[in-house]
A and B are shown apart, each in its own frame.
Chain A
Amino acid sequence: AAGVIQSPRHLIKEKRETATLKCYPIPRHDTVYWYQQGPGQDPQFLISFYEKMQSDKGSIPDRFSAQQFSDYHSELNMSSLELGDSALYFCASSSTKELGASYEQYFGPGTRLTVT
């Protein structure tokens, strides 16, 4: 079965640079979520989109922005990168078509961002 695809899998950037992470949800899933997992930490919710509109917002820095496109893929844009942004960034997707299904999120393999 198709899974959530994230690209790139690894990314190395320098401080103050920008980065763009991409997420391709499972086909027919309409909701995308972004999470950040720092070293030794639990995943923290950043932001989510439903039908191309922002549906919820968590602890996402103002330097970050995200959007969902017409084909439901999503991009997380990160500017003025800081050392503390080094983390594993997960994308997850879900479908709202079934009752309760929106709570079942399928996670991608993550993008490991290293800021030097």
Chain B
Amino acid sequence: AQSVTQPDIHITVSEGASLELRCNYSYGATPYLFWYVQSPGQGLQLLLKYFSGDTLVQGIKGFEAEFKRSQSSFNLRKPSVHWSDAAEYFCAVGAESSASKIIFGSGTRLSIRP
């Protein structure tokens, strides 16, 4: 079965510092991978997605992610975080059993230190 693991429950970084959020997936074929961001009490906003092609994908708000098949990873990165980046980040994978549902990881809460 498909699954997504986000090993870091909570990360705190200083404003202006670089960021990397880890995501590992379990999937039988080429995965469809996503990163979503959720601010407190808000909906889910798609940051970026990987379907195929270039393994380094660029997203909104200066985020990028790299798909590494050998490591089954899709880590999210940002070179310099801003206080407004504080939120919950979810890695997700398109389910193998159907073209529809998305399976989410447990999320990583990002706090920004002034």
Known: A42-B90, A103-B32, A106-B46. A55 touches B104 (CB 8 A): no
Q: Give the docked Cα–Cα distance between A41 and B34 (Å).
A: 18
Q: Give the docked Cα–Cα distance between A39 and B12 (Å).
A: 21
Contact of B70 with A by CB under 8 A = no
Q: Residues of A contacting B32 with CB < 8 Å?
A: 100, 103
* Residue in A31, A90, A107 whose Cβ sees the most chain B Cβ within 10 Å: A107
B interface residues, Cβ below 8 angstroms from A: 32, 34, 36, 41-46, 49, 51-52, 90, 94-95, 97-107
Q: Residues of B contacting A58 with CB < 8 Å?
A: 101
Q: Residues of B contacting A41 with CB < 8 Å?
A: 106
Q: Residues of B contacting A42 with CB < 8 Å?
A: 90, 104-107
Q: Give the docked Cα–Cα distance between A105 and B100 (Å).
A: 9
Q: Residues of A contacting B102 with CB < 8 Å?
A: 33, 43, 45, 103, 105
- The tally of residues in A whose CB lies under 8 Å from a CB in B reads 26
- A53-93 Cβ-contact flags toward B at 8 Å (1 or 0): 00110100000000000000000000000000000001010
A interface residues, Cβ below 8 angstroms from B: 31, 33, 41-45, 48, 50, 55-56, 58, 90, 92, 96, 100, 102-110, 112
Chain B: minimal CB distance from A72 (Å): 15
B contact patch SS: loop
| B43 adjacent to A31 (CB under 8 Å) | no
Q: Give the docked Cα–Cα distance between A52 and B36 (Å).
A: 27
Q: Residues of A contacting B41 with CB < 8 Å?
A: 112
Chain A: minimal CB distance from B90 (Å): 6
Smallest CB gap from B93: residue in A: A103
Q: Residues of A contacting B101 with CB < 8 Å?
A: 33, 45, 48, 56, 58
| A102 adjacent to B100 (CB under 8 Å) | yes
Chain B: minimal CB distance from A88 (Å): 8
| B49 adjacent to A31 (CB under 8 Å) | no
Please give 17 more A-B residue pairs, beta carbons under 8 A apart, in addition to A43-B44, A56-B100, A103-B51. Answer: A33-B102, A41-B106, A43-B102, A45-B102, A55-B98, A55-B100, A56-B95, A56-B97, A58-B101, A90-B44, A100-B51, A102-B99, A103-B102, A105-B46, A107-B36, A107-B43, A112-B41
